[in-house]
Amino acid sequence: MGTGTGTGKGNGKGNAGNAVNHPDERGPSVRFGADPDRPDGRRRVVVDAIRPLIDGGAYAVKRVIGDRVRVEADLLADGHDKLAGRLWYRGPNDQSWREAPLSLLPPGPPPAGGDGDTWTGEFVVDALGTWRYTVSAWVDSLESWLWGIERKATAGQDLSLGLRDGAALVLAAADRAPAGPARETLRRLAASMTDSSAAAVGLPVLLPPEIRALMHAYPDRSAETVREPALELTVEPLRARFSNWYELFPRSHATDRPDESPAGHGTLREAEGRLPYIAQMGFDIVYLPPIHPIGRAYRKGPDNSLTAGPDDPGSPWAIGAAEGGHKSVHPQLGTLEDFHHFLRAAQDLGMQVALDIALQASPDHPYVREHPEWFVHRADGSIQYAENPPKKYQDIYPFDFSGPAWQAAWDELRSIFTFWIEQGVTVFRVDNPHTKPLPFWRWCIASIKKRHPEVIFLAEAFTRPKVMYALAKGGFSQSYTYFTWRTSKRELTEYVRSLAQPPVSDFFRPNFWPNTPDILPEHLQFGTRGTFIARAALAATLAPSWGVYGPVFELQEKAARPGAEEYAQNEKYQVRQWRLDSPDNLAPVLERLNRIRREHPALQRLEGTTFHRTDNESLLCYSRADERGADLLLVVVNLDGYNTQGGWIDLDPGVMPMGEGVRYQMHDLMSDARYVWTDARAYVSLDPRVMPAHVFHARRLVRSERTFEYYL
């Protein structure tokens, strides 16, 4: 990491001769007159390895409202001089920069310790939008003098000349102080230090703590180094990091109609009836697949068959018909006012509605007729439909994001989001964003968030890890993940560890889904009720955001289309009816998991995850602690959906130290049972036919001299 040069701008503190270097908002090329070929030799401090940092500052770090942002930097200089530094930060509504002190980390292992050159500071983000932060540092001449003069005093050396040097530094600090008592106190101190008897009096008398604090209040920052340009930080709503998603096809939730058997295509008004059920389970985001008119050309039939009958509804992702396109509501679902009513009903229950935005068009979309230049044309003049050989999607036309008319196309596609934002939608699930250019998303999301920082974007991108990361860096708030296919103890441990460490954790927010309409993984196809519960418990306790495709999940539907990881009788291609009164419904389990998540801050962040060793490969054990360490949960999951599995857990002493007089009460939040663990080894047995997971709230017990127990 290189260093920035000082800007030479004053901050109004002290006299005009002591210019303080402020972070430069105008970019790295602006140096306020500094000559890059001749650096300012007075600035001896190098600001190195600032953290958090994404790709050298090319992308913004992510946080949510209310977060305490910890910033670290390595401050380096020649010789033995002491250093000082400041953390600079500026929110979207701030008119000027704010400062916080930097402190030298004591030597020791991170995060509490450093290597002797690592400094840290922090600030709280209290507004949505783009923040900026940086670090500045300078040689602390006063502290350097104090260090030297104290060593001389300890060695019994003559202090007369050294005190005169110090007096000059104190007098300079007095000149920087505003007129008043502080300036006068420092001037009197400087005079006393040049007195012939000062050396005999001694430093503790001359410089008591309150005087030292006053001296440090007016440092010489004329040779301050500022790390430029300032780094960006995006602050989003809490649900960008911590959220519970439930996917719902409104057309499959028609109420009983006397004239129809079975009930036909449902409406948004009818689907409202499911909202209390979803809210009762503790989900706070209801995700709707595309609600737009569906094309008729090349419409797919049941199970993605190439031939559709006259009553087959088609795939919601084949967007656009004579009735309208991406800014219209499917007539069979209702009207725009019906959607507004659905939105208000969800909000009244404490939930948000997420809309699926798929940037593609059916052959019947008005865009195809009005703007054929927005699509790719083949040699015969026809428009290229979507393909993933050997699969063909004749009912879908991709947009041409880099064609001759790309600018107009980009503007129109962005306007789809802004249209629905104007209707009150602030959460979007974006379909297959990895098949659209990364620069488009960075531009589109940044321009939307500039006006609407409250908007959340979930990327449905099951693709290569670096592409998924690039989408997150480009602005997506959350991302689908590979959790759906991670099943073994080793796979889950390695995957979560890869997501929980900086720099990945500073920009990539995982959302764990056990299933989706496109994906019925093999372990669910052949799993048991215990398998479904285990996957829900893993998703809900490993990731701060999780979701289920319901109601097929809580009803444990697992019939697959032959030869595919997809549901048979898939809701993507046909209307379904659901009987949620089944005694096997997992709704009570999902409700309990979401309540645990809501009540325990430890599960609302990915950091603080520790995996504990088990002697059984079918048992996965991990803990999660909140930022202050006050909330600690220990989770044990049986990964075998068929058989009871037992084994020994070796608790990590860094998380749960066991010793004489220290025990833990383990309250299983799934069963409400309580146990007391007295040793660093514990035996656990889980029967998947009963409950395949423990979610323990661990509370430390300490025996006092009065022999009663209390909790820490």
What is the rounded distance in angstroms from the CA atom of residue 97 to the CA atom of residue 86?
11
49: three-class secondary structure by DSSP: strand
With 0-12 CB in 10 A as exposed, 13-18 as middle and 19+ as buried, what is 455? buried
Question: How distant is the alpha carbon of residue 527 from its chain centre?
Answer: 31
The answer to whether 508 and 479 have CB atoms below 8 angstroms apart is yes
Give residue 697's identity as a one-letter amino acid code: H
212 φ, ψ to 5°?
-60, -40
- Residue by residue, DSSP assigns 4-28 as PPP-----SSS-TTSPPPPPPTT-T
What is the rounded distance in angstroms from the CA atom of residue 353 to the CA atom of residue 337?
15
> Residue 595: which residues within 8 A CB-CB, separation 6 or more?
282
Where helices occur in 272-405 by DSSP H, the ranges are 275-280, 336-348, 366-370
What is the rounded distance in angstroms from the CA atom of residue 357 to the CA atom of residue 134?
36
Q: 91-114 b/e with 16+ CB inside 10 Å = b?
A: beeeeebeebebebbeeeeeeeeb
Where helices occur in 371-454 by DSSP H, the ranges are 406-422, 438-451
By DSSP bridging, strand 243-247 and strand 285-288 are parallel
Question: How distant is the alpha carbon of residue 631 from its chain centre?
Answer: 20
With 0-12 CB in 10 A as exposed, 13-18 as middle and 19+ as buried, what is 401? middle
Of the candidates 236, 431, 506, 631, the residue annotated as catalytic is 431
Q: Which of 260, 259, 244, 245 is nearest to 577 (CA)?
A: 260
What is the rounded distance in angstroms from the CA atom of residue 92 to the CA atom of residue 98?
12
- Residue 29 has, within 13 A of its CA and on its CB side, a CA count of 0
Dig out the tokens for 104 from the structure: 């030298």
> Residue 106: which residues within 8 A CB-CB, separation 6 or more?
112, 113, 114
Residue whose token pair is 């450093």: 114
The answer to whether 524 and 515 have CB atoms below 8 angstroms apart is yes
554 φ, ψ to 5°?
-65, -20
403: three-class secondary structure by DSSP: coil
Q: Please measure the distance between the N-terminal and C-terminal CA atoms of the chain and give it in whole angstroms.
A: 42
Cβ count within 10 A of residue 709: 12
The answer to whether 653 and 691 have CB atoms below 8 angstroms apart is no
What is the rounded distance in angstroms from the CA atom of residue 621 to the CA atom of residue 695?
10
Of the candidates 247, 270, 356, 460, the residue annotated as catalytic is 460
What is the rounded distance in angstroms from the CA atom of residue 163 to the CA atom of residue 148?
11
What is the rounded distance in angstroms from the CA atom of residue 129 to the CA atom of residue 449?
7
What is the rounded distance in angstroms from the CA atom of residue 226 to the CA atom of residue 308?
65
Q: Is 431 tagged catalytic? A: yes
162 φ, ψ to 5°?
-65, -35
What is the rounded distance in angstroms from the CA atom of residue 150 to the CA atom of residue 532?
68
The answer to whether 227 and 50 have CB atoms below 8 angstroms apart is yes
Active site residues: 431, 460
